[in-house]
Amino acid sequence: MTSSAEKWYQQVRQQTLALTEDLSAEDMVVQSMPDASPAKWHLAHTSWFFEHFILQPYFQNYQCFNHHYQYLFNSYYDTVGSRHARPQRGLLSRPPLSDIMQYRQHVDSHISILLRQQHPAITDLLTIGLHHEMQHQELLLTDILHLLSHNPLAPALLAAQSQPSLNAAAAVSMICFDGGMAEIGAEAGSFSYDCENPRHSVYLAPFKLAHRPVTNAEWQDFISDGGYQNPLLWLSDGWHYCQSANWQAPLYWRNLDQQWHSFGFSGNQPLLPSAPVCHISYYEADAYARWAGKRLPREQEWEYATNLTQPPLQQANFLEQHIWQPTACSSQPNMEKLFGDVWEWCQSPYSAYPGFKPAQGALAEYNGKFMANQFVLRGGSCVSARQQLRSSYRNFFHPQQRWQFSGIRLAEDQ
C-alpha cells in the first residue's frame, strides 16, 4: 500500500516533469546567463539532492547511478566536495537528457523502497527535499522564460491567456495597521526553513500598506514621468545598474508598434494594465516607491499584515493554476494578492533573526551562508508551488536581479 509520504513524493516529482512536457531537448540544455540554470540541470540536481542526502546515507548497499554526477550536479554545498562551475552548466551537452531521465527513475525507485521500509531517520530529510524540489520547479520556469526571451521568434509555451479584465484596478488604498508587539517567524508544529526561525517578538510602529500591488498601468506612469532618467529617485548602486544596463522598463516589456507588450509563456502579449507589475529589481521598486512618495514595506510589516488578514492560499494564483503570469487586480478596494502573482520586494535585508542558529548536519549550508547583500521578498508568485508558501516564508535575491517574478506593494508610516 502506498503511504502518504510516497504519494507526496510522487506528486512533487511528477509535477516537475510535467513542467518540461512542452520543452524540446535543445530548450533544456541551454543556459541564458550565469544566474540561470538549464532545465536539464534542474532535473538532475533535484535527483542528486535525494541521492546524496537520503539514499547514500540510509539505503543499504546503495549504488550511485553515476559517480560523476556528484561533481556535475552539486549546487553550492562546499562541504560535499568540488563541483562544476555554475556559469558553465549550459556546456553540459553530455550526459544526454535520456540519461538524466533514467537517473530520476533510478532515484525514484530507490526512494520508494526506502519509504516502504518506513525508515524513521529520513522523514525530515524527505520533507526538506520535496520543498527543495518545489523551489526548483519555480526556478526551472523562471530560467526557461529568461532563455526564451532571448529568442527572436518570441516562442510561446502556452496558448495566449484571455485577459480577464481590461478595466482599471481599484485606486490604491492604504490600509492602516496599528502595529505594536508582534510575533514574527514560523510557528511550531509545521515545516519551515531555519531562516524563518526562531519565532520572536518585534515592536512595529503604526504603518499603512497598499491594498494591492503596483500595477502595470501605474508603472507606465512612472516611465512616462521619466522615472528611469531621474537619478534623484535612485539609490547610488541602483542608478549605476540602471545606467550601465540601460534599464528603460521592466525586464520583459517590449514597445511594439507604439504599444507596450510583455513577453511571457504565451509569447509577446499586450500589457494587461490592471495586473501587478512584474520582473523588476529591488532598485527599481525602491525608486518607484520614492517617486510615489511612499516606501517599501519591512518584511515584519508584511508578515504582520498577512497574519491579521489571513488571505486564503487556495485562492491565490500559484504554479498549480497553470496560468504562469500575474492576473488582474480587482476593481474593489479589498486587501488582495498578498500571496501569489508576484513576489513582493521588502526593504529588509536578508539577515538572521535574533537567536538564529543555522541547520546542523549535512544541510547546514542551505540558507544561513547567504545572509549578505540580499533583500527579502514575500508572498510567492504565479510560478511558486502552493505547498511551498506560508506567511513566514522568506525568499531572497540580490537587489539588481530582475528575472524572478518580482513586484512591489507600497507602504508608508502613519
CB 185 within 8 A of CB 354: no
pLDDT computed for residue 164 by the predictor: 59
pLDDT computed for residue 331 by the predictor: 85
What sign does the dihedral 124-130-131-132 (CA atoms) show? Answer: positive
- Give the pLDDT of the chain (414 residues) as one tens digit per residue: 578 999 999 999 999 999 999 999 999 999 999 999 999 999 999 999 999 999 999 999 999 999 999 999 999 888 888 999 999 999 999 999 999 999 999 999 999 999 999 888 899 999 999 999 999 999 999 999 999 999 999 999 998 876 655 567 889 999 999 999 999 999 998 999 999 999 999 999 999 999 999 999 999 999 999 999 999 999 999 999 999 999 999 999 999 999 999 999 999 999 999 999 999 999 999 999 999 999 999 999 999 999 999 999 999 999 999 999 999 998 888 899 999 999 999 999 999 999 998 887 777 778 888 999 999 999 999 999 999 999 999 999 999 999 999 999 999 999
pLDDT computed for residue 165 by the predictor: 54
Q: What are phi and psi of 343, to 5 degrees?
A: -65, 145
pLDDT computed for residue 78 by the predictor: 83
pLDDT computed for residue 166 by the predictor: 57
Neighbours of 250 (CB within 10 A): 21
Round to whole Å and give the CA distance between 361 and 40.
Answer: 28
pTM beyond 0.85: yes
Which is it for strands 207-210 and 253-256: parallel, antiparallel or unpaired? Answer: unpaired
Round to whole Å and give the CA distance between 169 and 214.
Answer: 10
pLDDT computed for residue 359 by the predictor: 81
Which is it for strands 406-407 and 343-349: parallel, antiparallel or unpaired? Answer: parallel
pLDDT computed for residue 349 by the predictor: 98
Look up cell 540541470; give the residue: 41
Neighbours of 288 (CB within 10 A): 24
C-alpha separations of 320 from 21, 314, 325, 340, 388 in Å: 15, 10, 12, 11, 12
Q: Is the peptide bond before 297 cis (omega within 30 degrees of 0)?
A: no
pLDDT computed for residue 161 by the predictor: 74
pLDDT computed for residue 1 by the predictor: 59
CB 401 within 8 A of CB 408: no
Beta bridge partners of 176: 208
